[in-house]
Amino acid sequence: MALPVHIIFWVAFGLLIPGMSLGGEYSERPEREKVIANAVEQGVDREWAAALLDQAERKQSILDAISRPAEKTKPWYDYRKIFLTDKRAQEGVVFLQQHAETLAEVSDKTGVPASVITAIIGVETFYGRITGSYRVVDALATLAFDYPKRSPFFTRELENFLVLAYESGKDPLTLKGSYAGAMGYGQFMPSSYRAYAVDHDGDGLVDIWTNADDAIASVANYFLRHGWQPGAEVIVPANYDGVSSELFEGGLKPTMTVGELAEQGFAPRSSTDVSLMATPLRLEGEEGYEYWLCLDNFYVITRYNHSAMYALSVWQLSQEIESLAAGD
């Protein structure tokens, strides 16, 4: 009979030898005990959790990277160039064709367009090719214990990682991800993995790292669970004849109707249902400001990454992939 993976993990690190202790960079941190206690409450073995955290290493490169996200230093006309490239669109068509059957099945089931699922994976990891080289436990421990600005968030993610690693039977020290601890094709954080990841092929494993079918279904499930409306519009170009900037300071969630915004000088360029909820968006383009009416499905994209520029990049990439795939 095969040994459970968590027992194999203990054996690999000598943790079944009486009296043996592995001290790590975070072994004396008081916050560590709270993380372990919370994981134990969710069924994780205490010694297993402690042993794993003893292997966590502080990475200064992670702390450096998280302090300089691209969106905070680039205007839209530069930001979009990161993701909206000919190569990314062309490789999106290849991914669309290679996984056509799964994408069709998932799209039919969830209502999330295959091109949108593909664009998310294209933006996040260049279709699974760049998924991150940091051990997830190192990334999350570094940010939980040494990045006070967002320590509560990353502490919760570290706890979720302990639980998912223990429950899934995966070797936690082999799981790699981004500097923020995001994992797999779609760069799910541990909490998102536990809440939304799907075993699409029915093999009993939820594998978003190497199984494109599971990753595709997981991305679509994330969108569905966040309120994606099949067939509904996403974003509409607009004109603005006002001068106030306050209109653009209300956040990402739609709180006004298209009609109400039109009364304030922010109107769609094409015929649009005036009862739809929308958020006005102004971005700095190469030839001046661009104006957009962001509808509910656009807001769903921002639930994946809380950024209007990210969401617009995903949407425009999805449209380019569709166009290329159709031969337009």
Residues assigned a catalytic role: 124
182 Rama class: left (phi>0) / alpha (psi -120 to 50) / beta: beta
Amino acid at 123: V
Scanning the chain, the segments in alpha helix (DSSP H) are 5-12, 30-41, 46-54, 60-66, 76-83, 86-98, 100-110, 114-125, 136-146, 151-168, 190-196, 212-225, 258-263, 296-304, 308-325
Both structure tokens of 56: 């966590």
The C-alpha torsion from 109 through 114 and 117 to 120, rounded to 10°, is -170
